[in-house]
C-alpha cells in the first residue's frame, strides 16, 4: 500500500486501487511484532490474512 497525500481526503491505496483506506474507515489488523522502549511502543501489523482489512 502507498500513501497518497494528493487525494482528498489523503488515503492509503493499493497499486491497482482495489483497496482504499481513508480517514474514519474501520479496519482489522493482526499485530505481528511489538517493541517497548523506555518512552515509546512500536508495533508492526499486517492486513493480509483471512478476515483482516476493511470491514
Q: Residue 47 in contact with residue 13, Cβ under 8 Å?
A: no
CA 46/CA 55 separation, integer angstroms: 15
CA 15/CA 2 separation, integer angstroms: 7
Question: What three-state secondary structure class fits 13?
Answer: strand
Domains (ranges, CATH) in the chain? 2-54 (2.40.50.140)
- Supply the pLDDT for residue 39: 96
Place of cell 482489512: 53
Predicted model pTM = 0.66
Reported as a single tens digit per residue, the pLDDT across 1-55 is 899 999 999 999 999 988 899 999 999 999 999 999 999 999 999 988 999 988 8
Q: Residue 13 in contact with residue 4, Cβ under 8 Å?
A: yes
Amino acid at each position: 500500500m502507498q500513501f497518497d497525500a494528493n487525494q482528498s481526503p489523503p488515503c492509503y491505496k493499493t497499486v491497482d486501487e482495489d483497496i482504499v483506506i481513508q480517514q474514519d474507515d474501520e479496519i482489522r489488523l493482526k499485530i505481528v511484532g511489538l517493541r517497548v522502549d523506555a518512552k515509546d511502543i512500536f508495533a508492526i501489523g499486517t492486513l493480509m490474512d483471512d478476515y483482516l482489512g476493511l470491514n
